Structure formats: C-alpha cells, structure tokens
Amino acid sequence: MQEKLLLSITEASRLFGIGQNRLREIVRDDYNGIYHLTVGRVIKIKRKPFEEYINKVQQI
C-alpha cells in the first residue's frame, strides 16, 4: 500500500485513521474532484492531494 496512488475508502480509512463515513462526507464536499476520483461507482482517494489536505486542516 506504500506506493499506491489511489486508495479505496477502506484503505484510506485505515491509513489516515479517519472513519469511512467521514471520508465519504469529505468526498461529497469535494466538488472539483481534488481529493477523489470516481471509477464507475467506486470512489478512489487520491493519496498525495489528500495527504496535503490532511496536513493543512486543523480539524476533520
């Protein structure tokens, strides 16, 4: 999982220590697709931009 660019909701939840429901809320508010990519019906988290987002925010 170290070199994966796209993470599933479950993988991102484990890696970042954020609940799956909260991740889905963040994705729902990400209108421009900065942090996520939708492949069909599957949501993938873009690892690098999401790590940068996590480093900038004070509270999730």
pLDDT in tens, 5-58: 999 999 999 999 999 999 999 999 999 999 999 999 999 999 999 999 999 988
pLDDT for 60: 80
9: which residues sit within 8 A by CB, 6+ positions away? Answer: 20, 23, 24, 43, 45
pLDDT at 22: 95
Each domain of the chain, given as residue ranges in start order, spans 6-56
Residue 1 has pLDDT above 70, yes or no: no
**CATH number listed for the domain at residues 6-56:** 3.90.105.50
pTM to 2 decimals?
Answer: 0.85
Distance (Å, whole) CA 58 – CA 8 = 24
- Predicted local distance difference test score (pLDDT) of residue 2: 72
User: How far is residue 10's CA from residue 19's CA, in Å, rounded to a whole number?
Assistant: 9
